[in-house]
Chain A
Amino acid sequence: KAGVTQTPRYLIKTRGQQVTLSCSPISGHRSVSWYQQTPGQGLQFLFEYFSETQRNKGNFPGRFSGRQFSNSRSEMNVSTLELGDSALYLCASSLDAREGYNEQFFGPGTRLTVL
């Protein structure tokens, strides 16, 4: 079974631009979560999608948004990029995050650098 895939793996943007990152979950997984990882803050939860609906959102500004498609693939978008948005963006999938024991599988991440 193929793992979680994320594209692109590396991205360089300049301040003010916007970016879209993509995540394809493991086949059969319907829950997709996004995280931002930086050296200073560690891994921080952005949002979680299930059946094309955002179920939970972390403490990030509205410049961070996402969506999920009917095939469970998900995208996240960051508008008006700031230098502080430079980070590793990780996607994780699971069968259903509402289930009691529910292991998340992480993708390799997208390394975003904002210049």
Chain B
Amino acid sequence: GQNIDQPTEMTATEGAIVQINCTYQTSGFNGLFWYQQHAGEAPTFLSYNVLDGLEEKGRFSSFLSRSKGYSYLLLKELQMKDSASYLCAVRDRWEGGSYIPTFGRGTSLIVHP
């Protein structure tokens, strides 16, 4: 089975840095994704980690430790538009041969002035 935990809600100040954690316990592992989802919109891809370490992409960075079942998403220089839900998803290979992601319930980030 799959169990993915992330905080329900976080608040931060514009211009600050915030770290959103994700822990997982899964029967298999073939990569971890982070998605951003604004209210009423589709999730959009932010990052993908399959090996341990830090992946940096502009203001966003994602870290993975497979041995600890742990990942975090780091958002720097926060902007008001970063207020959204952030979804952690762990991918595993299913019987049909496809890689299917299992999603956490998402962390609602509120950025205030």
When chains A and B are docked, how far (Å) is the Cα of A41 from the Cα of B102? 12
Q: Which of A38-71 contact B (CB under 8 A)?
A: 41-45, 48, 50, 55-56
Known: A106-B43, A108-B42. A42 touches B106 (CB 8 A): yes
Count of interface residues, chain A, beta-carbon cutoff 8 Å: 27
Binds B, one of A12-20, A78-86, A95-103: A95-103
Q: Please, how many angstroms separate the alpha-carbon atoms of A33 and B91 in the complex?
A: 14
Report B's interface with A, CB cutoff 8 A: 30-31, 41-45, 48, 50, 87, 89, 94-106
Residues in B with CB closer than 8 Å to A44 are: 103
Residues from chain A with a CB closer than 8 A to the CB of B94 are 55-56
Contact indicator A97/B42 (Cβ below 8 Å): no
CB-based closest 4 A-B pairs: A55-B96, A42-B105, A97-B98, A43-B103
List B contacts of A48 (CB < 8 A): 96, 98, 100
A104 at the binding interface (Cβ < 8 Å): yes
Determine the distance from Cα of A97 to Cα of B99 in the docked complex, in whole angstroms: 5
- Name the A residues within 8 Å of B106 (CB-CB): 42-43
CB closest residue in chain B, given A105: B45
Can you list 18 A-B pairs with a CB-CB distance of less than 8 A?
A: A4-B42, A31-B98, A35-B103, A41-B105, A42-B104, A45-B100, A48-B98, A55-B98, A56-B96, A56-B100, A90-B42, A98-B97, A99-B99, A101-B31, A101-B48, A102-B99, A104-B45, A108-B42
Quick check: A55 and B97 within 8 Å, CB to CB?
A: yes
Hey, which bits of chain A sit against chain B, CB under 8 A? 4, 31, 33, 35, 41-45, 48, 50, 55-56, 90, 97-109
Decide: A45 and B102 in contact? CB cutoff 8 A: yes
Inter-subunit contact A50/B98 (CB<8 Å): yes
Q: Which B residues touch A42, using CB under 8 A?
A: 87, 103-106
Q: Bound state CA distance, A55 and B31, in angstroms?
A: 20
Q: Smallest distance from the beta carbon of A6 to chain B beta carbons, Å? A: 9
Among A50, A102, A107, A108, residue most surrounded by chain B Cβ atoms (within 10 Å)? A102
Chain B: CB-nearest residue to A103: B45
B43: which A residues are within 8 A, CB to CB? 43, 90, 106
